[in-house]
Amino acid sequence: MKDLNQRGLENQVKGTAKEMKGKIRGNLGDATDNRSEHIKGRAEELKGKVQKNFGKGERNADPDNA
C-alpha cells in the first residue's frame, strides 16, 4: 500500500496534467468558436485543479512529511 505522501504526489502530477489538458481543450474551443469544447475544457481544467489540491492536502497530512 502506498503511503500518503506517494499518493499525494501522484494526485498532484495527474491533476496538473489534467488541468493543462483542460486548458488546452478550452483554448482550442475558443479558437474554433466551439462553445461545447470550451465548456468541457474548462470543466476538465477545474477537475485537475481539485485533484492537484487534493494531492497537496494528502502530502501535507502525511505525518512522515513533517
Residue 31 lies in a domain: yes
Residue 65 domain-assigned (yes or no): no
Residue 16 within a domain: yes
Per-residue pLDDT, 64: 79
Structural domain for 14, as ranges: 4-57
Q: How many other CB atoms sit within 10 Å of the CB of residue 25?
A: 20
Position 12 scores a pLDDT of 97
The model's pLDDT over 6-63, given as tens digits with 9 standing for 90+, comes to 999 999 999 999 999 999 999 999 999 999 999 999 999 999 999 999 999 999 988 8
Residue 18 counted as domain residue:
yes
CA distance 60 to 25: 31
**Domain annotation covers residue 62:** no
Q: CA-to-CA distance for 2 and 35, rounded, in angstroms?
A: 40
For residue 3, pLDDT over 70 is answered with yes
Looking at the structure of the chain, the number of domains it has is 1
